[in-house]
Amino acid sequence: MFVSVPATSANLGPGFDTLGLAVDLRNEIIIKPSKFLSISTHGEGSDNPKIKKNTLFLSIFNENYKRLTGRTDNFRFEFHNRIPISRGLGSSSAVIVAALSAAYTTAGVRYNKREILNQALRYEHHPDNITPAVMGGFNVACVEGDRVYSKKRRLPDYLNAVVVVPNRTISTAKSRTVLPKMYRKEETVYSLSRAAYMTALFMSESWDLLRIASKDKLHQARRMKMMPELFEVQKTALKHGAVMSTLSGSGSTFFNLVYEKDAQKIHSALQSRFPQFRVFTLALDNNGVMVKS
């Protein structure tokens, strides 16, 4: 069996814990029945003993395979990782969504993507990465009880993402602790109004107003202070024509939405200004998780 799951960029500025989209940078996992448990890891994280063990994937896969079949069986897992780890591109959501999709498929249980999404919420309690990882495209999502309610909009192929991946990680858990417990009404209204406006702009494909809609006062600047070069990354991307430029998830990656025709110019400007960081130009993804049994 083959599972492929995309990277995601959450928040998109003001849409804290609610907005996210998928990009075409995929982790792939090959799973085969085996007499013994065996794991091989290639690509991102393959030099890190903790990532190589992939306890996150295995614990979710085993728990759900047992829940669905009542059995524990052995498999061979081959992980091909392309999503940078702990960089704000939804690496943990990708693992969770892949593990659940793999467990349902190997168990031979029929499922739909909504089921995977609701199960994924048990492992990641905000829906802004798991929703596009499952569905692809741009998504607005909220949680009521133990369910995710979400709406997807497909993304056009004349837009690209230029992502700047710093050489240092920011863990989501740590990056949430730098945020205040309470917000002033003005900051809340500033971001809430832009998140609503941004959703309308994505739904109506009005890209040129995203520069205004993508501003935020809830989390970005507070988090970017942990890596001050990011202010310069944002300035450089906007100066060279990015449609919007936002901290990806909890950081450290910066996500820049660009017209395909401008992608190379923006990519080169960012790479030459920040040679120590990795820059990728990526298509946007409308498929979400894909499984071939």
Ligand X SMILES: N[C@@H](CCO)C(=O)O
Ligand Y SMILES: Nc1ncnc2c1ncn2[C@@H]1O[C@H](COP(=O)(O)OP(=O)(O)OP(=O)(O)O)[C@@H](O)[C@H]1O
- What residues are designated binding site for ATP? 84-94
The closest alpha carbon to 94, from 109, 84, 108, 104, belongs to: 84
Q: According to the binding rule CB under 6 A, does residue 249 interact with ligand Y?
A: yes
Smallest gap from residue 151 Cβ to ligand Y (A): 21
What, of ligand X, ligand Y, none, does residue 85 touch, CB below 5 to 8 Å by kind?
ligand Y
Contacts 24+ apart (CB under 8 A), 222-229: 222/178, 222/179, 222/180, 223/170, 223/175, 223/178, 223/179, 223/247, 223/250, 223/251, 224/251, 225/178, 226/170, 226/175, 226/178, 226/251, 227/166, 227/168, 227/170, 227/251, 227/252, 229/166, 229/274
Return the range that interacts with ligand X (CB under 6 A); candidates 124-132, 150-158, 196-204, 285-293.
124-132
Query: 33: which 2 tokens?
Result: 């029945």
Q: According to the binding rule CB under 6 A, does residue 256 interact with ligand Y?
A: no
Among 27, 64, 105, 172, contact with ligand X (rule: CB under 6 A) = 172
Among 4, 11, 101, 119, contact with ligand X (rule: CB under 6 A) = 11
Q: E-strand spans in 129-193?
A: 138-144, 147-153, 159-165
Smallest gap from residue 260 Cβ to ligand Y (A): 24
Taking CB atoms, the residue at the shortest distance from ligand X is: 249
Rounded CA-CA distance 282/260 in Å is: 10
What, of ligand X, ligand Y, none, does residue 11 touch, CB below 5 to 8 Å by kind?
ligand X
256, containing H or E segment: strand 254-259
Nearer to ligand Y, 81 or 236 (CB): 81
| String marking each residue 65-104 x if it binds ligand Y according to CB under 6 A | ----------------x---xxxxxxxxx-x---------
Q: According to the binding rule CB under 6 A, does residue 10 interact with ligand X?
A: yes
Among 3, 9, 12, 17, contact with ligand X (rule: CB under 6 A) = 17
What, of ligand X, ligand Y, none, does residue 128 touch, CB below 5 to 8 Å by kind?
ligand X
Any alpha helices (H) in 205-284, and if so which ranges?
210-213, 220-224, 229-239, 260-273
What, of ligand X, ligand Y, none, does residue 252 touch, CB below 5 to 8 Å by kind?
none
Per DSSP, the residues of 110-141 read ---HHHHHHHHTTTSSSHHHHHHHHH-SEEEE
Rounded CA-CA distance 246/237 in Å is: 10
| String marking each residue 187-216 x if it binds ligand Y according to CB under 6 A | ------------------------------
Using alpha carbons, list the distances in angstroms from residue 97 to 123, 143, 166, 185, 216: 10, 17, 25, 35, 28
Nearer to ligand X, 105 or 131 (CB): 131
Q: According to the binding rule CB under 6 A, does residue 14 interact with ligand Y?
A: no
Binding site for ligand Y (CB under 6 A): 10, 27, 45, 51, 54, 56, 81, 85-93, 95, 129, 171-172, 249-250
Binding site for ligand X (CB under 6 A): 10-11, 16-17, 126, 128-129, 172, 176, 219, 249-250
